Amino acid sequence: MKTDTKIARLGRPHAKDGPVSVNPPVVRASTVLFPDMETYDAAGKEKYTTLRYGRHGTPTAFALADAVAELEGGYRAIVLPSGLAAISATLLAYARPGTHLLVTDNVYGPTRNLCDSYLRELGVDVEYFPPRIGADIAARVRPETVAIYCESPGSATFELEDIPAIASVAAGHGIPLINDNTWATPLLFPSFERGVDISIHAGTKYIVGHSDAMLGIVVCSEATWGTVRNLVGLLGYSTSSDDCYLALRGLRTMALRLERHQANALKVARWLEQRPEVTAVHYPALESHPDHALWKRDFRGASGLFAFTLASDDHAAVVRFADGLRYFGIGSSWGGFESLVTLPHPKREHDALPEGGSLVRLHVGLEDPDDLIADLEAGLTALSK
Ligand SMILES: *Cc1c(COP(=O)(O)O)cnc(C)c1O
């Protein structure tokens, strides 16, 4: 079965057993009633795959989790109420006082905040490594290292990690490689073929795809599933079935949307590259990106999120530029159908972007790219005056 066919079918009931709605219904539940004690006790052994108690998951949540796990080639997935909840639960499943955690320096800001505050206070030694470290990460692995955490590309500066190289080091030490795969989704980066053990998605972004629900998904290998599932159970997370329904609905059109996001983003990025006000465009799909060859080797496409550096470091002027755009909304998140602009200030220890100037991040949506370019052109022209 090819990917587009899979996307149309995964997590759906089959009509062979009787008439069913195309989409699985939203099952809302706390209490689930059983015919007798024996059936109730038996369901306790399968509580994360069958309906037993609302917090352990509903058929709507299982349908989404199974669909994403199968699409990405993982063993099983867990849904959580946000992408950040998926990240914190996964890190807490491994972090203990006295352990050591290797984290890429281009990691999502809130992930870094969790590491720098709570995890360090817990006694976890968090070490940030330069994203382009590749197999040299071996020199940083210690006996107490419990996991390597990647985000490729980082969602503010867009360096790629060499995931297969890092994965083989992780495997050699018997520790999991965790990767935040939100930018690429299961479609554009096949995590488990590349050696990832745990793939994390902010489903909030492209999977939901319409900016109207929060959702996290952790896709695990067979070896890591029990550890993560157990911790999520201990923490008591419960994810709304309505939001799982929206995510599964979003998933059906994700391949099509990503195709257009990529085409539009490429057109806008290539146009920006030619502008005198712009010193660099940080989009792995561009030939000028330092990790373009790696992207071509490991990815099946690019999504619609990238950044560029404006030569100007006049912050007030850059703010006026962002404020003046008509079609790029100002707001957190990305992955919906609409275009967005933000001005990130990523914290870094290693090789931050070299150029100076001001970093601008765009999410290129499904609007007509010529309108988006005209919008940016008006803004840049005003900026250079
Ligand atoms: C948005 C985002 C998250 C967090 O997702 P939420 O659903 O907003 O909690 C995690 N990782 C990356 C790369 C993101 O962009």
Residue 383 — very low, low, confident or very high, per pLDDT cuts 50/70/90? confident
pLDDT value of position 114:
98
Residue 214 — very low, low, confident or very high, per pLDDT cuts 50/70/90? very high
Task: Measure 49 CA to ligand 1 centroid, in angstroms.
Answer: 26
Task: Measure 110 CA to ligand 1 centroid, in angstroms.
Answer: 8
What is d(CA 226, CA 40) in angstroms, rounded to the nearest whole number? Answer: 22
Average the pLDDT over 70-82 and give the result. 98
Atom of ligand 1 nearest to the CA of 84: 9
**Residue with more model confidence, 243 or 11:** 243
Residue 78 — very low, low, confident or very high, per pLDDT cuts 50/70/90? very high
pLDDT value of position 14:
80
The whole-chain average pLDDT of the chain stands at 96
Whether the per-residue pLDDT at 155 is higher than 70: the answer is yes
What is d(CA 67, CA 184) in angstroms, rounded to the nearest whole number? Answer: 17
The per-residue pLDDT for range 337-365, each reduced to its tens digit, is 999 999 999 999 997 676 689 999 999 99
Average the pLDDT over 299-324 and give the result. 96
Average the pLDDT over 64-70 and give the result. 97
pLDDT value of position 354:
66
In this predicted structure, which of 28-32, 43-47, 116-120 has the lowest mean pLDDT?
43-47
| Fold of domain 254-384 | Aspartate Aminotransferase, domain 1 (3.90.1150)
Task: Measure 112 CA to ligand 1 centroid, in angstroms.
Answer: 12
User: Ligand 1 pocket, 180 CB below 6 A?
Assistant: yes
What is d(CA 381, CA 318) in angstroms, rounded to the nearest whole number? Answer: 12
The per-residue pLDDT for range 79-101, each reduced to its tens digit, is 999 999 999 999 999 999 999 99
Residue 16 — very low, low, confident or very high, per pLDDT cuts 50/70/90? confident
Average the pLDDT over 66-79 and give the result. 98
Annotate the chain with three-state secondary structure: CCHHHHHHHCCCCCHHHCCCCCCCCCCCCCCCCCCCHHHHHHHHHCCCCCCCCHHHCCHHHHHHHHHHHHHHCCCEEEEECCHHHHHHHHHHHHCCCCCEEEEECCCCHHHHHHHHHHHHHCCCEEEEECHHHHHHHHHHCCCCEEEEEEECCCCCCCCCCCHHHHHHHHHHCCCCEEEECCCCHHHHCCHHHHCCCEEEEECCCCCCCCCCCCCEEEEECHHHHHHHHHHHHHHCCCCCHHHHHHHHHHHCCHHHHHHHHHHHHHHHHHHHHCCCCEEEEECCCCCCCCCHHHHHHHCCCCCCEEEEEECCCCHHHHHHHHHHCCCCEECCCCCCCCCEEECCCCCCCCCCCCCCCEEEEEECCCCCHHHHHHHHHHHHHHHCC
User: Ligand 1 pocket, 155 CB below 6 A?
Assistant: yes
What is d(CA 192, CA 345) in angstroms, rounded to the nearest whole number? Answer: 31
Atom of ligand 1 nearest to the CA of 205: 1
pLDDT value of position 356:
84
Right CATH number for 3-251 from 3.40.50.880, 3.30.230.10, 3.40.640.10, 1.10.10.10? 3.40.640.10
Whether the per-residue pLDDT at 118 is higher than 80: the answer is yes
Task: Measure 84 CA to ligand 1 centroid, in angstroms.
Answer: 6
Atom of ligand 1 nearest to the CA of 87: 10
The per-residue pLDDT for range 123-153, each reduced to its tens digit, is 999 999 999 999 999 999 999 999 999 999 9
pLDDT value of position 47:
85
pLDDT value of position 355:
65
Active site amino acids: 55, 108, 180, 205
pLDDT value of position 18:
86
pLDDT value of position 313:
92
pLDDT value of position 385:
74
Whether the per-residue pLDDT at 7 is higher than 80: the answer is yes
The per-residue pLDDT for range 272-310, each reduced to its tens digit, is 999 999 999 999 999 999 999 999 999 999 999 999 999
User: Ligand 1 pocket, 203 CB below 6 A?
Assistant: no
* Domain range summary for the chain, segments of one domain joined by +: 3-251, 254-384
Whether the per-residue pLDDT at 242 is higher than 90: the answer is yes
pLDDT value of position 30:
96
Report the percentage of the chain scoring pLDDT > 90.
92
290 close to 282: Cβ distance less than 8 angstroms: no
Strand order in the sheet with 216-220: 76-80, 216-220, 198-202, 177-180, 145-151, 100-104, 125-129
Q: Do domains 3-251 and 254-384 have the same CATH topology?
A: no
